[in-house]
Amino acid sequence: MIEVRDLIKTYPGATSPAVAGVSFTVEQGGFYTLLGPSGCGKTTTLRCIAGLERPDSGMIKLGQTVVVSDRIFIPTYRRDIGMVFQNYAVWPHMTVFENVAFPLRVGKQKVAGSEIDRRVRESLALVGLAGLEKRMATQLSGGQQQRLSVARALVREPDVLLLDEPLSNLDAKLRERMRSELLLIQRRVGITTLFVTHDQVEALSMSDRVAIMDRGLIVQEGAPRDIYHAPANQFVAGFIGSTNLFAGRVISRDAETGQALIETAAGRIVADAEGHEAGADVMIAVRPEDVVLHRGRSAGGPEAANSLGGVVEIGLFTGVSVEYHLRVAGQLVQSRVSSRIDFTRGDDVVVELPVHAIRVFSMAGSEPAAEGLAGQDA
C-alpha cells in the first residue's frame, strides 16, 4: 500500500511548488497511475515517494512504514521500493546477472550465493531474459534493458514498485507489447504499483485507478472508465481523449429532473446540468464517438431535442473509424463513427448529441484547485 497525504514540494528557486498538495492511496496490489501533461509534477511526486527528493511537507507511508512526515525522513536506500526509470539506468559496467544481483548483494540482510543465483534467474525468467545472464547490460536492446530494469526492481520483492515513464523510450510497436507484458508481470507478482506517464492510452489501459494531475495537483481520481466517461472538469475532458468543447449559457433548468436548456453556438441543447443555475456560463463536452450522425435534414421542433442540423466539412478515414468535421450553425463539431458510414463533403446531416453523453462544466473549471477538490470523489 502507498499512502500520500498533502504532499508539497517546491524546488529551490522556483516561484510555485512543483507538487502543491497531493493526496492519494494505492491499494495493496493495485496498479495506480499518475497521468498529466509535461511539468505537472508526476515525476516529482514519484521521486518524493522514492526519497530522491525531500518534500517541504506531507506524509508518505509505504506498507505499514511512514517514510516521510514532519519528523521522519527515511533515505531512499532504506525504503522498501523497486524503481524503474525512463532511461532504464542499468549499470553499464555490470553483466545482466550482476545488475539483477546488485539489490541482493547490497541489502541489509546477507543473501547466500546460491540464493542470489536462484532469485536472479527467477527474476530474469519472469521478464523473459533467461539465458542472457552473462551479457553486459549495454549489449541489450532498449526493450531488453527495460525488462532488465524491471527484473532488477523486483528481485528484492519490495513492497511497492515505482515506474517513471518506463515505456516512453521504446518504439510504438514494442511499447504496445511491453504494456501488456508489464501488466501481466505486475498481476503475477501482485506488487503494489505506482506508474507515471503522460500517455493516456497507457494510463487507461493498464491502471486500476488513474489520477489526473495538473499544475502540481490531482484534479480527478477514479477508475479509467469513470475518468474517460465522466471527466470532472474541462481540463480532464480536454486532456483525456478528444472532446468537443463548446461554450454556452444556461437558459432554464428543471429543478426536478436537473435537466437544463443551454444556448450554444450550435443551437439549444438539453443536458444534465446539476448545480448550474439559469444564467450561468458553462462549457459543454461531448466525445466525438458519442456524437450520432443521421442522414438528412433536421426536422426541428421540440421532440427532436439535441438533434441539430449540420453540414459535413471533411471526413478523415482511418480504417477503424471515420472522423467527420461538421459545421453546426456557428460551431464545429467532430464525430467519430464506424468507417462503414460514408458521407461526402457538403452532405446534410442530423447531428445528435445524446443527453447522457453530455458533460456540463462551469466556466470557472479552468481553475484546477477548486474543481480538483470537488472532483476527488467523482
Closest CA to 82 of 100, 65, 95: 100
Q: Which residues contact 91 (CB under 8 A, 6 or more apart)?
A: 98, 99, 102, 137
Distance of alpha carbon 339 from alpha carbon 58, whole angstroms? 50
Q: Which of 2, 4, 20, 40 binds ligand ATP (CB under 6 A)?
A: 40
Q: Is 20 in the site for ligand ATP (CB under 6 A)?
A: no
Name which of 14 and 255 has its Cβ closer to ligand ATP. Answer: 14
Q: Which of 21, 26, 32, 41 binds ligand ATP (CB under 6 A)?
A: 41
Considering only residues 317 to 376 of the shown chain, the ones binding Mg ion according to CB under 5 A are none
Distance of alpha carbon 77 from alpha carbon 85, whole angstroms? 16
> Could you tell me which stretch among 33-41, 181-189, 293-301, 342-350 binds ligand ATP (CB under 6 A)?
33-41
Q: Is 75 in the site for other proteins (CB under 8 A)?
A: yes
Q: Is 18 in the site for ligand ATP (CB under 6 A)?
A: yes
Q: Is 14 in the site for ligand ATP (CB under 6 A)?
A: yes
CB 190 within 8 A of CB 221: no
Q: Which of 1, 74, 111, 136 binds other proteins (CB under 8 A)?
A: 136
Q: Is 43 in the site for Mg ion (CB under 5 A)?
A: yes
CB 197 within 8 A of CB 35: yes
Closest CA to 216 of 31, 1, 40, 24: 40
Tell me the backbone φ, ψ of residue 40, rounded to 5 degrees.
-85, -10
Q: Grid coordinates representing 321?
A: 473509424
Minimum distance from CB of 225 to ligand ATP (Å)?
Answer: 24
> Could you tell me which stretch among 38-46, 64-72, 110-118, 351-359 binds ligand ATP (CB under 6 A)?
38-46
> Distance between terminal CA atoms of the chain?
22
Name which of 92 and 300 has its Cβ closer to other proteins. Answer: 92
Q: Is 252 in the site for other proteins (CB under 8 A)?
A: no
Minimum distance from CB of 103 to ligand ATP (Å)?
Answer: 25
Q: Grid coordinates representing 120?
A: 536472479
Minimum distance from CB of 226 to Mg ion (Å)?
Answer: 25
Minimum distance from CB of 158 to other proteins (Å)?
Answer: 9
Q: Could you tell me the CA-to-CA distances from 262 to 272, 275, 280, 355, 372 in Å, in that order?
A: 10, 14, 10, 12, 24
Q: Is 45 in the site for Mg ion (CB under 5 A)?
A: no
Helix (H) or strand (E) holding 347: none
Considering only residues 37 to 56 of the shown chain, the ones binding other proteins according to CB under 8 A are 50-52
Helix (H) or strand (E) holding 198: none
Residues that bind other proteins (CB under 8 A): 50-52, 75-78, 81-83, 85, 87, 89-93, 102-103, 106-108, 136, 138, 149, 152-153, 156, 162
Give contact residues for ligand ATP (rule: CB under 6 A).
11, 14, 18, 36, 38-44, 198
